[in-house]
Amino acid sequence: MALSDQPAERHRQISRGFTERVQGARSWDTPAPVAGWDARDVVRHLVEWLPPFLAGGSDVRLPAVPSVDDDPVAAWQAHQEAVQALLDDPATAGRVLSNPHIGDVPLDRAIDQFYTTDVFMHTWDLSRATGQDDRLDPELCAQLVAGMEPMEEIIRSSGQFGPRVPVKPDADAQTRMLGFIGRDPEWAP
């Protein structure tokens, strides 16, 4: 499936894949590929970091969602629907997110670049933690690696990614992306 280059549609496509993994999870307490996280923590991360990011740089206040501890499926669904509604709102195209690290960025592009990409990468984490299909779109994997590699020093210093995991030089795009973001592509619970 070719991913859209439009933020609202790309979020719809990528979050659909994550939603399938959320709905397919049978145990939320299984370890995840991120050290110290379990499957529930993958959902928690995505549900909890975006609201303050948006509130800190715009007038956007996402609605509260159910507790991830009580119901990760309901928490994800409510959060995903709120983000999609924001991206589908025609007024969002004229809004800006201001951030001291990235400057002023159109709101929909900021969500796409930082959040939707994060959902994409964490789809692998949740898939691996819950024993589901972990294949990601190879074209987006290749684009992400190509875009991140020139900024590796900045990315590593942010603390958002672990140390790079070495992979074979002829590895596919997904494996290269996973290694770049600090995931062991061979990880299993």
pLDDT in tens, 141-189: 999 999 999 988 888 887 778 889 999 989 999 999 999 999 999 999 8
Q: Please count the structural domains in the chain.
A: 2
Distance CA 35, CA 52 (A): 23
Distance CA 24, CA 18 (A): 10
Distance CA 15, CA 38 (A): 19
Q: Which domain holds residue 162?
A: 137-189
Domain with residue 123: its CATH number is: 1.20.120
- Predicted pLDDT of residue 156: 82
Strand partners of residue 97: 105
Sign of CA dihedral 3, 176, 24, 52: negative
| Residue 2 placed within a domain | no
Strand partners of residue 98: 104
| Overall size of the chain counted in residues | 189
- Predicted pLDDT of residue 137: 96
Distance CA 111, CA 60 (A): 12
Residue 186 tokens, joined: 């061979």
Indicate yes or no: pTM above 0.85. Answer: yes
pLDDT in tens, 50-67: 999 999 999 999 999 999
Q: What is the DSSP letter of 156?
A: H
Say if residue 103 is in the same domain as residue 48: yes
Say if residue 61 is in the same domain as residue 108: yes
Say if residue 131 is in the same domain as residue 169: no
